[in-house]
Structure 1
Amino acid sequence: MKKVLIALDYDPSAQKIAKTGFSFAKTMKAEITLLHVLVNTQDYKLAEHVKVMGFAGRLDISEELSGKTSGLKELSQQFLDKSKLYLGDNRIQTLLVEGDCAEAILNAANQISADVIVMGSHSRKWFENTTMGSVTEKVLQNTTIPVLIIPTKKQSKS
């Protein structure tokens, strides 16, 4: 395996996914590409600051960005750049794409000729306890590339 694609979003679990994928890729001496998929601006309307891997940004996208993606692209590229800095390897490539998450991940994997896709299993939907995230499920159903799924569900204390 020579190329690893690590798909990241703004969820705090991105740090675990990035660190695990990075370690996995380094063990194999593989090239690493960090991917973020820019989706509908409505999905970025959050009330709080996001802090993950050195990135701290407010994702409360107001009317001035509604329908525009230039500000979101800049913010998303900053997220990828901070993630790369956090991992401490200047050779890491970053890729920012727009579209449906699963399709964009699959297209990016093909574009860079990835040998493996690393992604998380979280879901923000009500069926979180019974299934992995719908994006992860869709990627698994539509790829022939191996997928390393990092479990990100919060562990309950026993």
Structure 2
Amino acid sequence: MKKIIVPTDFSEYAEYALEVAASIAKKEKAQILLFHMIGVSRAFFTENKYQEYAEAVYYMKLARKKFDELLARSYMKGIETECVVQNYKAFSELNDVAKEKEADLIVMGSHGAGKILSMFVGSNTEKVVRHSDLPVLVVKDRIKNFEMNGVVFACDFEQESIHAYRRAMKFFAPFKSKVHLLHVNLPGESFRDTSQIEEKVRGFLLNAEGSEKRMGAVNYWNDYTTEQGIYTFSGRVNADLIAVLTHGRKGLAHFFMGSLAEDMANRSGWPVITFKMD
């Protein structure tokens, strides 16, 4: 890992994300890119009126001051950092910034109640995660010594998930994470017996890795909802992190906006990392 992007509005929740990013950066000797949008009217930059120009300069100086305050934090010591202040741009285009900067990870802050920090409210959050080809790590509490020793990776083991699964396993490998693969079995029409699930998982692993060696790392959990199964199992194994796959353009409305991942962000006591499916 070479570079981590941390979007910030300078809130305490954004700083929680920065502290986690710093922990990862130190272990991986990675650079942090602090990214802030000032949202100033374009007229401030294009018109010659003194007052408007002065206000634009004020916002820029204020952002720089806040950057300096963050960089002075003890947890940022020894980390190579680049600060970017940019006028308003669609958050869906943050993926373009990540590609331009050759980043490997985006770390975002979130309110404890599940509401993303103010700069990422509502559809903007959805756009960031939906359009990001990078893993997106969402943090909502202060974690002084962030670890990824134990990861619960919830997966449906459908063939369309294979590429995202490979990316996730590659991501966790340098951290030597113990990845608990999890299949939540639900009642109703989607219910499958043990032999059916094992057959599905075996086929998935053979296609994804050419081997069944991870069969022993797959856990099967019966519950009434997927999210409750993930929470309960994560508590049982004392997980540091929950990993889920997103469907990008096809299904990210289910993430942070009324379904599985929003419920996870609202109720879970764990940070959540997403990997986009192709």
Q: Same fold (TM over 0.5)?
A: yes
Instruction: Report the AA paired with residue 63 of structure 2.
Output: S
CA-to-partner distance for each residue in 1:53-92, whole Å, 9 max, x for gaps? Answer: xxxxxxxxxxx56994211011011111221121223621
Corresponding residue of 1:84: 71
Whether the aligned pair in 2 keeps the contact of 1:25 and 1:32 (CA below 8 Å) is yes
**Does the C-alpha gap of structure 1 residues 133 and 8 become closer, same or farther in structure 2, counting only changes over 3 Å?**
same
Higher fraction of helix: 2
Corresponding residue SS for 2:134 = coil
Identity, % of aligned positions: 24
**Does the C-alpha gap of structure 1 residues 128 and 119 become closer, same or farther in structure 2, counting only changes over 3 Å?**
closer
Q: Does 1:118 align with 2:94?
A: no
Rounded to whole Å, the distance in 1 between the matches of 2:115 and 2:79 is 35
Q: Does 1:70 align with 2:54?
A: no
Larger radius of gyration: 2
Q: Cα RMSD (Å) of the superposition?
A: 3.3
Rounded to whole Å, the distance in 1 between the matches of 2:30 and 2:2 is 4
**Does the C-alpha gap of structure 1 residues 22 and 100 become closer, same or farther in structure 2, counting only changes over 3 Å?**
same
Rounded to whole Å, the distance in 2 between the matches of 1:73 and 1:104 is 21
Corresponding residue of 2:139: 150
Whether the aligned pair in 2 keeps the contact of 1:7 and 1:105 (CA below 8 Å) is no
Whether the aligned pair in 1 keeps the contact of 2:5 and 2:34 (CA below 8 Å) is yes
Gaps of 5+ in 2: 42-50, 142-264, 268-278
Match runs of 1:95-114 below 5 Å: 95-100=84-89, 102-103=91-92, 105-114=94-103
Rounded to whole Å, the distance in 2 between the matches of 1:90 and 1:24 is 10
Tell me the TM-score normalized by structure 2.
Answer: 0.40
Corresponding residue of 1:55: none
Rounded to whole Å, the distance in 2 between the matches of 1:154 and 1:142 is 22
Tell me the TM-score normalized by structure 1.
Answer: 0.67
Corresponding residue SS for 1:69 = helix
**Does the C-alpha gap of structure 1 residues 79 and 101 become closer, same or farther in structure 2, counting only changes over 3 Å?**
farther
Q: Does 1:8 align with 2:3?
A: no
Whether the aligned pair in 1 keeps the contact of 2:93 and 2:131 (CA below 8 Å) is no
Corresponding residue SS for 2:86 = strand
Instruction: Report the AA paired with residue 78 of structure 1.
Output: K
**When the two structures are aligned, how many residues end up with a matched partner?**
129
Q: Which deviates further from its counterpart, 26-35 or 94-103? A: 94-103
Q: Tell me how far 1:104 sits from its aligned partner.
A: 5.5
Gaps of 5+ in 1: 42-63
Whether the aligned pair in 2 keeps the contact of 1:2 and 1:115 (CA below 8 Å) is yes
CA-to-partner distance for each residue in 1:10-36, whole Å, 9 max, x for gaps? Answer: 222122111111111222221111111
**Does the C-alpha gap of structure 1 residues 67 and 39 become closer, same or farther in structure 2, counting only changes over 3 Å?**
farther
Whether the aligned pair in 2 keeps the contact of 1:4 and 1:117 (CA below 8 Å) is yes
Relative contact order (C-alpha < 8 Å, sep 6+): which is higher? 1
**Does the C-alpha gap of structure 1 residues 6 and 128 become closer, same or farther in structure 2, counting only changes over 3 Å?**
closer
